[in-house]
Structure 1
Amino acid sequence: MNILITGIHGFVGSNLVVALKEHHVLYGLDIIAPEKEGVEKTFSWKDIESTAFPMQQLPQFDAIIHLAGKAHDTKNQSAAQAYFDINTGLTREIFDFFLESKAKKFIFFSSVKAAADSVVGDMLREDVIPTPVGPYGESKIAAENYILDKLRVAVQRDKRLYILRPCMIHGPGNKGNLNLLYNVVKKGIPWPLGDFENKRSFTSIDNLCYVVEGLLTRDIASGIYHMGDDEALSTNELIALMCEAMGKEPHIWKMNRKMMEGCAGLGTLLHLALNTERLRKLTENYVVSNEKIKSALGIEKMPVRAAEGILKTIRSFSD
């Protein structure tokens, strides 16, 4: 199978190359185009424009995986329009290219943040009415809607569309929020929010690659699929796993919950680092159901357990 992967030089793209290169012929599409082991050729975005690189001169792709996008800026320093230019604009461009190409499958990497900033109820499922908050989630749902609006056209052309909404993806080489928490734990700084027993879903890169391979090679219905590991973990469990990987004893302080909420409220008034919103983000539940994608693939469980994937990621930080 000839597969075009946008954003192929990123974290997920690089892992997909390793997972797929043995059984597929891979091509890249990115803002940079260096040679990459396992990739036949990487094109630039200008190459998909018919005026610059006629479609008949491109390889005949069987599937397109669209990863390229602007990541969630947790510091809120990015201009809102940049999200829409990249997450929505580039998706429209590559999806229109897909519709005109001979490729039969399109996998779009969206995000659970396109569905909800906070989870109402026990877990987040695909039938939720999307209520994104902020330009990242809003730009992702706009891209999703553009794809879904053209679903009928795709079906008429015998094409399949998959919108993947992963929760936080992690794995060796990922320098995201897990790395930030790891650096705090590594310094021996106690975690004072042990009285909050929250649960959060994560996505192991190994599980993600397994699902993408399944979407590419199996007869799966078009649709939206949430992606996460089977088990949700609390922040306390996450810190304990980090300490296990480092051979340290965890320092988790169960400071009185009401007192910490009061301190956060004061922090909001005084514009301190710990405020009510940050406390909510650190301690809220965000559990994502993966039952729909497992049912579609005909499996009962993901190949990698959540704790196993987290340990693999944490151990890579010290490599």
Structure 2
Amino acid sequence: MKKVLITGANSYVGNAFKRWVESHHTDDIFVDMVGMRKGEWKAISFEWYDVILHAAGIAHVSTDKSMEDLYYKVNTDLTAEVAAKAKQSGVKQFIFLSSMIVYGDATNARFITADTVPNPTNFYGDSKLQAENKLAELADEMFMVANVRPPMIYGKGSKGNYVKLAGLAQKIPFFPSYQNKRSMIHIDNLSEFLARIVLNGDSGTFHPQNKEYVCTTDLVSTIGSIHGNTVRRIGLFNGVIDKLIDRNVTVNKLFGDFSYAKELSVYRDEYCVRSFEESIVETEKN
């Protein structure tokens, strides 16, 4: 049995992973959690654990320059500190929850392949990339590092852009019929992927995603239908969207392409336990 310590007691991914393991991998994985904000992690021994899943961190993009130092302190420096303790304690595997944002965003990285070089456009993405670089300095045959770069994560209890879209989808009568391609991952799919990484003892850089790409229009329509709201699709604004998509942040977030090549997300084990439609139903049901 693999013994996993999750750093970040308030982490959405960490808590979801714990619930998933306790429901689906009770014979294979044991999970503990430890808080970070008050330095709790410093007071406990890591020596009993096989794996550290480092889920702690500031998880959302900010444009507030006053927050920049904090992002690097938490996402970069703290990650390196925890990893150094893990290595010194004899932990065999360190899994770091990074982000697709290390490549930038829909303005400069619309379709990401194995040849795409990380090029973050904000300090959130750069803080994650710098953490990966520090982990690379610690990694060796006895200390396996796995960097996981998920796209937008969604599911029951998630925060961020998905929640805003879901609220919109329940109220609006129509939405632009604009075709775009986004990579996303449901929390159950990500949790199963992390479980497989643990069980296989893998190292390297990973790009998990749902099997299906997501079009924003389809997403809004699907969420609306679950709540009994029929959202009409109209193409009236497509010309305006085309002109604004590289100039306006909000338009870019809604309708820009930002996706992984499918082959980048292939893994030796199946981890997509929910289809796109199933995942939306699971997320939106009471």
TM-score range, shorter chain: 0.7 to 0.9
> What's 1:238 paired with?
219
**Is this contact kept in 1: 2:99–2:148, CA < 8 A?**
yes
> What's 1:303 paired with?
273
> What's 1:277 paired with?
249
Q: How far has the Cα of 1:92 moved from its partner?
A: 0.8
Please give the residue correspondences for 1:48-127 in structure 2 after superposition, counting only pairs within 5 Å. 48=42, 53=43, 55=45, 60-73=48-61, 76=64, 79-118=67-106, 123-127=111-115
Please give the residue correspondences for 1:165-314 in structure 2 after superposition, counting only pairs within 5 Å. 165-191=149-175, 193-194=176-177, 196-220=178-202, 222-260=203-241, 264=244, 276-289=248-261, 291-295=263-267, 297-299=268-270, 302-314=272-284
TM-score scaled by length of structure 2? 0.88
**Is this contact kept in 1: 2:169–2:221, CA < 8 A?**
no
**Is this contact kept in 2: 1:111–1:166, CA < 8 A?**
yes
Any idea what the Cα deviations from partners look like across 1:12-50, whole Å, max 9, x if unmatched?
Answer: 111111122323332222146xxxxxxxxxxx52542xx
The one-letter code matched in structure 1 to 2:231 is P
**Is this contact kept in 2: 1:227–1:289, CA < 8 A?**
no
SS of residue paired to 2:90: coil
Q: How many residues align?
A: 281
> What's 2:33 paired with?
28
Q: How far has the Cα of 1:71 moved from its partner?
A: 1.5
SS of residue paired to 1:187: coil
Q: How far has the Cα of 1:79 moved from its partner?
A: 1.6
Q: How far has the Cα of 1:132 moved from its partner?
A: 0.4
Does the C-alpha gap of structure 1 residues 47 and 250 become closer, same or farther in structure 2, counting only changes over 3 Å? Answer: closer
SS of residue paired to 1:216: helix
The 4+ residue runs of structure 1 with deviation greater than 4 A are 74-78, 119-122
What CA distance in whole angstroms lies between the structure 2 residues aligned with 1:258 and 1:110? Answer: 35
Does the C-alpha gap of structure 1 residues 304 and 77 become closer, same or farther in structure 2, counting only changes over 3 Å? Answer: farther
Please give the residue correspondences for 1:35-46 in structure 2 after superposition, counting only pairs within 5 Å. 45-46=39-40
**Is this contact kept in 2: 1:169–1:204, CA < 8 A?**
yes
Q: How far has the Cα of 1:167 moved from its partner?
A: 0.4
Does the C-alpha gap of structure 1 residues 31 and 159 become closer, same or farther in structure 2, counting only changes over 3 Å? Answer: closer
Which structure is larger by alpha-carbon Rg, 1 or 2?
A: 1
Q: How far has the Cα of 1:189 moved from its partner?
A: 4.8
The one-letter code matched in structure 1 to 2:184 is F
Please give the residue correspondences for 1:147-166 in structure 2 after superposition, counting only pairs within 5 Å. 147-151=135-139, 154-155=140-141, 158-166=142-150
SS of residue paired to 2:112: coil
The one-letter code matched in structure 2 to 1:26 is V
Any idea what the Cα deviations from partners look like across 1:45-99, whole Å, max 9, x if unmatched?
Answer: 2542xxxx474xx551111000000021356476211110110011011111111
What CA distance in whole angstroms lies between the structure 1 residues aligned with 2:91 and 2:164? Answer: 39
**Is this contact kept in 2: 1:201–1:286, CA < 8 A?**
yes
Gaps of 5+ in 2: none
What CA distance in whole angstroms lies between the structure 2 residues aligned with 1:205 and 1:13? Answer: 10
SS of residue paired to 2:259: coil
SS of residue paired to 1:172: coil
What CA distance in whole angstroms lies between the structure 2 residues aligned with 1:290 and 1:99? Answer: 33
Does the C-alpha gap of structure 1 residues 54 and 208 become closer, same or farther in structure 2, counting only changes over 3 Å? Answer: closer
What CA distance in whole angstroms lies between the structure 1 residues aligned with 2:5 and 2:114? Answer: 27
What CA distance in whole angstroms lies between the structure 1 residues aligned with 2:193 and 2:108? Answer: 26
TM-score scaled by length of structure 1? 0.79
The one-letter code matched in structure 1 to 2:179 is E
**Is this contact kept in 2: 1:83–1:136, CA < 8 A?**
yes
**Is this contact kept in 2: 1:5–1:29, CA < 8 A?**
yes
